[in-house]
Amino acid sequence: MTEDLSKRRLGRGLAALIGEMDQPIQVSDPPKPMNSDRMVPIEHIGRNPRNPRRQFDESDLQDLASSIRQHGIVQPVVVRTVADGFEIIAGERRWRAAQLAGLHEIPVIVRDVDDRTALEIAIVENVQRADLNPLEEALGYDQLIAEYGYTQNDLGGIIGKSRSHVANSLRLLKLPDPVRDMLAKGELSAGHARALITTTDPVALARTIISKGMSVRDAERLAQNEVKQQAQSSVVDKPDQKDSDTLALERSLSDALGLDVKISHKGGAGQMRISYRSLEQLEDVCRLLERR
């Protein structure tokens, strides 16, 4: 219980820090940067290898570099001290663009934080700015869960998202690598990708969605048809194969709960199985049922 409270307090602390970093800046002529701790030579600053953000659009960086040449950096980069200088916590995009702009030093805010808090701040900052693609976001959540034992509720509180948002984000990691690559490149949206999770050939369906420029709703219909055709093709050999309506219901409940749901029935009776990986997930389901 104490650990849960500390995590909630930490979430509010992170939100406050990001809020402080995100205060609107009144740009005058010339613009002035936000209050920073100091100016640091750019070569003394290195990227954080654990930063969840992996992709940086080159044209966007060039646009930002052009703005920096004209106005300077109006928002400091958040860093922490390491053995050989400083490591970026939040603001790698600004740091990269500053190099393209030819700056020799940049304003920084120095924070004394450990690895876990640095990772949390990086994820919060990127999620709030919508700087992460859906796969990067999911990998960041998974990293916090795997390394530091966070629950989906913990993460939802920290980033200001619902538990179901976190759960559905994590479900994207079930997709095969080719589909994950399409998601990372922006060729598929998270909605497109979620429709493919329970299909038998998500790679082929993903390519069809991209080539035809399908909407998310069209992609969901395509996925449902694939599941239905698969069920029909195997009905002779497997008379107990689930029908497409049952599979669609399983998928709908799985999306709503963020957990794997299996339904089996015969005639008018049957059972529903909800799989969970931790006691926290079980408690989440119990709370949902109690509210009914």
pLDDT digits (tens, 9 = 90+) for 237-246: 454 567 777 8
92 is catalytic: yes
CA distance 40 to 68: 16
Domain assignment present for residue 287? The answer is no
Residue 153: HSE in the Cβ half-sphere, 13 Å Cα cutoff: 14
Domain assignment present for residue 285? The answer is no
Q: Are residues 111 and 197 in the same domain?
A: no
The residue whose two tokens read 């530091």 is 148
Q: Are residues 152 and 184 in the same domain?
A: no
Q: Are residues 222 and 143 in the same domain?
A: no
Give the count of domains, the chain. Answer: 2
| Residue 258 pLDDT level (bands cut at 50, 70, 90) | confident
Catalytic residue among 87, 92, 220, 226: 92
**What pLDDT digit, counting tens, does each position of 90-122 carry?**
888 889 999 999 999 999 999 888 888 888 887
Q: Are residues 141 and 20 in the same domain?
A: yes
Domain assignment present for residue 165? The answer is no
Kindly state the tokens that stand for 279. Answer: 């006691």
CA distance 16 to 26: 20
**What pLDDT digit, counting tens, does each position of 32-67 carry?**
344 557 899 999 999 888 777 777 778 888 888 898
The residue whose two tokens read 């953000």 is 53
The conformational region for residue 80 under phi > 0 = left, psi -120 to 50 = alpha, else beta, is beta
**SS3 category, 267:** coil
Q: Are residues 119 and 191 in the same domain?
A: no
Provide the 8-state DSSP code for 34: P
Helices then strands, counting H and E runs in the chain, come out as 13, 7
The pLDDT value given to residue 157 = 82
For residue 106, the cross-strand partners are: 40
User: Domain range holding 65?
Assistant: 2-158
The pLDDT value given to residue 106 = 92
